[in-house]
Structures are given as structure tokens and as C-alpha cells.
Amino acid sequence: MDFLHDCAAFVFDMDGLLFDTERLSQRALYAAAAELHVPIAEGAFLELIGRRMGDIHQRLAVRVGGDALAARLIECSEKHYETFLAQGVPVKKGAEDLLMLLAERGKPCAVATSTRTVKAQRKLEMAGLRKYFHSVVGGDQVERGKPAPDIYIRAAAGLGVAPQHCGVFEDSEPGLRAAHSAGANVVWVPDLAPVDMETQKLAQARADSLHAVRNFLKRPR
């Protein structure tokens, strides 16, 4: 991860990276499916990770047999998710320590998330992390969602640097592909979503946690 020392700015994914919220989303989806009596395969959630709402809707519609049922499932799932989230946003180990270190070193940071901007802003505020980010780019701000590079190109532009000078932290396959396609320097921090070997190779480095990234950056070069 030596290349991180030379990055001018940093961009973070949010769910599954800063927050341990993919598990909340998974619980919410299956709770909604049970409530609505909609049969859904146990592994169906994993293919939704890292994607924005329009893409999620399309994939669920194929799974459950139509747009109307998919819309009901999403609405019910979001209700359960909000109930879980009201108990507190679960921040990943080392996230704030890393953000504090980057702030101390004058490295500007942004969030690039498939979540809608308003919802992303609210979660960051709830977790007390919004103050560390110059900008938050949600999936509703770009024409194409991850794995297209649009969101990382926009996030880098908002920080005033080229993607090639940004370090990106991602956990999902669509996110890794998006950051790599934008030309950014990518660190894969695994979470719930499986990532195939081909996609793993797109990352310049792997870290087991953001805590590990912070400890690495604290060491002298």
C-alpha cells in the first residue's frame, strides 16, 4: 500500500466500507420478504451490494416476478432498515481513526456511494463522520451507477484532483470495477459481498480493515 502515501486525496465507499450496514440491509430484505410472503433465494441479496436503487429494483423484479412486487419489497425493506438504523449506525473498526489521520495530514476526502445522497448524508451525520468529508456523491448524482466509473470521476473532480491521484477504498465488485475504470488507486477492504478473483486483481492492494490502513499509514516510509 506504499502508493497511498503519494495520493493527494481519498474517496470512500460508504455501506460495507465505513459502515457495517450491508448486514442491516440483508436482514431488512429478508424480513420484508417474510412479511410479504415473497419467496426469495437466500443468496439473492449479495448480487445487490454496491448497486444503486434503480439497478436493485431491476434485479429484484427478475427475482420476484415483476416491477410492482419488487417495488413493494423495496418499500417494506426500507421500513425495516430504518427500524434497525434507529438503533445506531454501526461504524466499521478504524474508520474514524483513519479519517482523523487523513484530516491531520491535510488530505481531502469524499464519499462515493450508490446510496441516494440525502440518505447518505443522514447516515454520515448520525455516525458523526460527515465533518471529515469535503463532499458526498450519491448514486442519484450520476447518469450511470457502479460499476461504471462516473461516480469516482465526479468525486475526484469535487476534490480538485484527477482520479489517478486519488486513493479509493471499496468493498464490493461493482465498486472495485468503478474505481479501477476511473483510473484511481484502489484498496479492497473485504466485507459481506464475495468478489471474484478477476475483480480482486483490479485492486492495487488489499487491507483487512480500515484500522489496518491507518496503522500502515502511521508507519514511517
Please list the active-site residues: 13, 15
- 37 HSE (CA, 13 A, CB side): 0
Peptide bond into 147 cis (omega under 30): yes
Q: How far apart are CA 197 and CA 213, in angstroms?
A: 22
What residues does 136 pair with on adjacent strands? 111
Taking only Cα atoms into account, the Rg of the chain, rounded to an integer number of angstroms, comes to 17
Which residue, chain included where needed, has cell 471499496? 170
Could you give the strand order of the β-sheet that contains 205-206, starting from the edge strand earlier in sequence?
135-137, 109-112, 9-12, 166-170, 185-188, 205-206
